[in-house]
Amino acid sequence: MLDNKENAIGVFDSGLGGLTAVKELMRQLPYEKIVYFGDTARVPYGTKSKEAIVRFSMENVLFLIKNKVKMVVIACNTSSSLALPLLKQSFRIPIIGVIEPGVKKAVRVTKNKKIGVIATSATINSEAYAKGIKKLNHSIRVASQACPLFVPLAEEGWFNNDVTFSVAREYLKPIVASRADTVILGCTHYPLLRSVIQKVLGNKVTLVDSAKEVASEVKKLLKETGLENNRRHSPKHLFWVSDQPKHFRKLAKRFLGYDIRNVKRSSDV
C-alpha cells in the first residue's frame, strides 16, 4: 500500500472544521485525491477527555486505512495534541498532525519572542503547543487561551457580527495583555473568524493558521517518501461522516466556498 502514489491522502477531523485543512491541501496539491472523515456523530472533541479523544482518533485512522489511504493528516488540533504520539506508535502509515507545523511557523515569525495560542480547552490543557514552542526555543514566552465558544460561532456562520466581536474581545484579553506579536489559530474553526480575531488583536499581530502550515508539511513529506502523485488529473475526493451527511454538506460550503456532492455516512465508526 505504501508505494501506491495514486492512493488518497486521508484526512480526519472531529467534524467539518478539518475542511479548512482540506481547502489548503487541494490548493497546494491539486492532483492528490483526498478521503475525508468527519466524526460528526461525536463532535466536539475539544471538551472531551484524553481517553475518549485517543479512542475516537484510533478508530478514525483505522477507518481511513480501510479506505486505502497512503498517509493520514490529523486536521483536528485536539486529536493532534492528545493522540498523535500514540497513533504514530500504533500504525506504520505516515501520520502528520497540525501542531508541529503551526509551532514551527510561529517560532520562525515572532520577533518579540512572545507567542499567543488560542484553541479548544482540551488542546490548551494538553499544553501541546506551549511545549512544542518551548522545545524549539526555550526563551519564548507563551500565552494560552481556550476559546470554546468560537467553534459554535463559526459553525453558525457568525464570522463578523457583534456577538462574535464581544466574545472575541473577552477571550482575547490575556493574549492582548501578553503583547504577543504572533498568535496561533490552534483550532480548525478559528481561520473562519480570522477577520474578527485580527481586528481585536490589531494589525501588527501575525496570525498563524495551522491548517495552511500542515499542507506545506504534507507536500514535503510526500516528496521525501516518494508518495507524491504527479499524474495530472482532477481527483474525485470523497467525504465521509459518522452522522448527518446533509447538514455536513450544507456547512461544508461555508468552509470550502463551494458545494461538495459525494458526502456519505459511515456506520463503521
Q: Name the site residues for ligand DGL (rule: CB under 6 A).
A: 13-15, 17, 43-46, 76-78, 120, 123, 151, 187-189
Q: Which CB atom, from 46 or from 245, has the smaller least distance to ligand DGL?
A: 46
CB of 149 to ligand DGL, least distance (A): 11
Q: CB of residue 99 vs ligand DGL: minimum separation in angstroms?
A: 10
Considering the complex, state which of residue 33 and residue 189 has its C-beta at the smaller distance from ligand DGL.
189
Residue nearest to ligand DGL (CB): 46
Residue 187 designated active-site:
yes
DSSP string, the chain: -TT-TTSEEEEEESSSTTHHHHHHHHHH-TT--EEEEE-TTT---TTS-HHHHHHHHHHHHHHHHHTTEEEEEE--HHHHHHHHHHHHHH-SS-EEESHHHHHHHHHHH-SSSEEEEEE-HHHHHHTHHHHHHHHH-TT-EEEEEE-TTHHHHHHTT-SSSHHHHHHHHHHTHHHHHHT-SEEEEESTTGGGGHHHHHHHH-TTSEEEEHHHHHHHHHHHHHHHHT------S----EEEESS-HHHHHHHHHHHHSS----EEE-S--
Out of 34, 53, 69, 76, pick the active-site residue.
76
Nearer to ligand DGL, 129 or 205 (CB): 129
Instruction: In angstroms, give the least distance from the CB of 155 to ligand DGL.
Output: 9
In the residue annotation, 147 being an active-site residue is answered as: no
Marked catalytic residue, from 95, 187, 208, 214: 187
Smallest gap from Cβ 172 to ligand DGL, in A, equals 17
Q: Give catalytic residues, as residue numbers.
A: 76, 187
